Chains A and B, each alone.
Chain A
Amino acid sequence: MSHRLAYYPGCTLKTNAINYEISAIASSKALGIELVELPRWNCCGTVHALARDDVMHYIAPVRNLIRVEQMRGSGLVDEGRLVTLCEMCYNTLRRADMGVKEDQERRRKLRDIMEEEPPYRGEVEVVHLLQLVKELGWGKVRERVERPLRGLRVAPYYGCLLLRPRGLAIDDYNNPTIMERLVESLGAEVVEIPFKAKCCGSYQTVHMSQVAAMLSHRILRQAMEGGADMITLACPLCEYNLGERQERIRGLFPDLKYLPVLYFTQLMALAFGLEGSAGLEFNNPDPRPLLRSKGLLGESRK
């Protein structure tokens, strides 16, 4: 029987990053984890309330944490951990949880403001799916592989919010290796890029798309010069800046190679023989021509 864990999707996993969600649910299931979506979840706020007097922006994330405690109370999940996929959700929920636990005054204020909810007991731990996969062990991942991603050169890109600020890093914030180990376990070859944890431009893409394009370009170029076939990552906003925006970046730097950008869960789904749940049709640039040329799609099973 699979282990049931509470899962917080967040807004973008239901729209732009639907491929992330589909592939995460399928590949987690293959590893024995059932992701149970929170009933009645709401926006996490996307960015943490950094100003110390800002209690208001704790309400949305903390309400989600209360939902997890309620789920656990009604036996819908097996433990108190909350699984996230989107890096912004991970960061915001995790920091809200930390902020409530470290400051009793803030906790008391929230309890007063949120009188319509039961008080948050502080029994939730916010985690990212990558942490769970690592915890299961790379051996278990390798066992589950049906179609090793042989001949595929993949550059992992972490972005910012899984590693910084330092108090919540899911791995060594100076030199994370969790995605490298995953990529290797799936049978692909790792291409290290120096800027694997440098900002892609983040939300500046909204009103300063040129500035974001410059940052994303440096990351793409490093991957290209390292001989990568594709980039893998864990954040829908990074995916947008590096993937969706790639055509426009190529307008500024015409020699930039076509580099598909896949969520790490899509690589897992592919390697686990769950091609139908990889959601590849939603990616831009389309990774299918590349994967077909490597014999990693369709009937060409090895």
Chain B
Amino acid sequence: MALGVSRQPYRHGVENISFKARVEELSGQNLNLCYQCGACSSGCPLSREMDLLPSKVMRLVQLGRDDPLYSRTIWICSTCFECEVRCPRGIDIASVMEALRQLMLRRKYSEVRLESLDPEELGRLPQIAVISNLRKMMA
């Protein structure tokens, strides 16, 4: 893939199926419902910053491919739920993004480390910003 995230060619095997099942279990969403209309990607306020559009994330996970785990997209998502209200199939895509983040966080991957933040800046930020950011970004 042009994204620099994929490491292996697609294989339809047990691993792929179990990855998809895990994402469905964590997100509580039926991924098969997605028919690739792209409404989530067009509504997403942050899609410009993403390496994989939300609709592409949906398609890859549908196929059991775990590429999205290594994308920037899941960390760029700000959980604004714009995709959730736009999806004509009623899929809560924000929860799928959360499931993907959780799979990384539970492997002890941290996108943000507290010590990397500027202490002066931390003093100015509202607590809700810091707590929510670390809830989403830190293992």
Contacts and interface: CB of A to CB of B under 8 A. Distances in A.
A50 interface: yes
Given A202-B80, A207-B112, A240 B25 contact: no
Contacts of B12: none
A203 B133 contact: yes
Contact of A52 (B26, B80, B82, B94): B26
A132 interface: no
Interface residues of B, number: 38
A199 B133 contact: no
B82 A199 contact: yes
Question: Which of A43, A166, A202, A208 is packed against the most chain B CB atoms within 10 Å?
Answer: A202
Nearest to A54: B102
A198 B45 contact: yes
Contacts of B137: 207
Contacts of A88: 128, 132
A86 B128 CA distance: 9
Contacts of B45: 198-199, 215
Contacts of B84: 164-166
A237 B127 CA distance: 9
Contacts of A207: 111-112, 116-117, 133, 137
Contacts of A174: 85
B81 A236 contact: no
Contact of B46 (A46, A51, A215): A215
Given A15-B126, A45-B135, A199-B82, 4 more contacts: A50-B79, A51-B26, A52-B27, A165-B81
